[in-house]
Amino acid sequence: MPRPAATAAAPPARKVPLRKLLRAASVACGVQFGWALQLSLLTPYVQELGIPHAFASLVWLCGPLSGLLVQPLVGHLSDRIAPAASPLGRRRPFIAAGAASIAAAVLTVGFSADIGRLFGDDITPGTTRLGAICVYLVGFWLLDVGNNATQGPCRAFLADLTENDPRRTRIANAYFSLFMALGNILGYATGAYSGWYWIFPFTVTPSCSISCANLKSAFLLDIIILVITTYITVASVQEPQSFGGDEAEHPGTEQEAFLWELFGSFRYFTLPVWMVLIVTALTWIGWFPFILFDTDWMGREIYRGSPDNPEATQSYHDGVRMGSFGLMLNSVLLGFTSVVLEKLCRKWGAGLVWGVSNILMALCFVAMLVITYVAKNMDYPPSGVPPTGIVIASLVVFTILGAPLAITYSIPYAMAASRVENLGLGQGLAMGILNLAIVIPQHR
């Protein structure tokens, strides 16, 4: 008589198809669309509200201060939620909530001049609008909280789906970088176009000039794109029901306090993890001055304009729009680099690719210093339009920087995800720790 068949072992879980990883990463497009608008339009805008150029960089401290705690905290919380506790799993509720915060924030920022007028602001050109500035700062803070609350869980979501496979992790992060490039292209193209006020005439108000109305219209477009891409990500794929090294599977285990666990996890880091964090921090020390003041640099140094001088305001805004165009070209190369990045990593190794990209970044920043020096010592025509050669050189540098930026957006996250997973730490906490290496340089 034949023996009963042994209970068959559970079949191994199927890997998430790459097309679903692509859809899961799509929210990066909506988030980065708004981020591109921030970078290209908000520094000039705060100066229009009356914040001096010398203090404009202080406004951007909202981002690193919020990112210092928000992304690690959100990552920690998402690690601790059992996948079955929510219909959307544990990462996607944070992604959706972060996107909602971004939508509320861009409305606040875009309409800050109008809200400030309701608070009694003097809308005479050249005056400081205290009400609008306060509303703007609230919206800006909320915007950065939303950005951090969305991107961290999305990176962790992709790491969960790739199940610690280094190649698939690199591909997933390359997809994320590709969508960031697409969002950048759309955002910078939107910022470079000066006719949005004509398409959305209701955005022009007594307290909101044409440039302000263009910004307001661009943010309304951002909300539409953000809603679409967030829906695609949330509906793309079900989250795995189990995760290696995750304490969420053991709800009875006593949990450490968040900050103690965050900083206590450092003692488990191996040398490769520390190298990833240190190189990431040093890299972002170089990136942030460019990211925050790229269009402002084009308006002031290349076009010799100023938002504070009525006679030079038009030149400044022409430079800002040209800078936005350069950043759009930057994003095209960023997207192309993201597509070929996995092949480069297989051929040369991820570490070598990252190192070469950082050298290229440094050379481009040196080139910007040279262009600035040359522009200051050149005679411009009576029209004030900068020589074509100077503009082209600036655009070339902006474009080339797209390649190392794509690598910065991808390889460090893939390296951190694979190395931290081997230590048994949750991916949400891992992405939050990597974010510390990104935001701490902003406080320098």
pLDDT in tens, 45-59: 877 777 766 566 666
- Beta-bridge partner residues of 208: 205
Give the SS3 label for residue 208. strand
Span 359-381, pLDDT tens digits: 999 999 999 999 999 999 998 98
Q: How far apart are CA 114 and CA 112, in angstroms?
A: 5
Which of 15-19, 116-120, 255-259 is predicted with the least confidence, judged by mean pLDDT?
Answer: 255-259
Q: Which of 209, 193, 185, 216 is nearest to 402 (CA)?
A: 185
Number of residues written out for the chain: 444
Instruction: Please state whether the predicted TM-score (pTM) of the whole model is above 0.95.
Output: no
**pLDDT confidence of 303, banded at 50, 70, 90?**
very high
Q: pLDDT tens digits for 3-40?
A: 444 444 444 456 788 888 899 999 999 998 988 888 77
Buried b (16+ CB within 10 A) or exposed e, 271-308: eebeebbebbbebbebbbebbbbbbbbbbbbbbbbbbe
Residue 226 clears pLDDT 70, i.e. is over it: yes
CB 113 within 8 A of CB 203: no
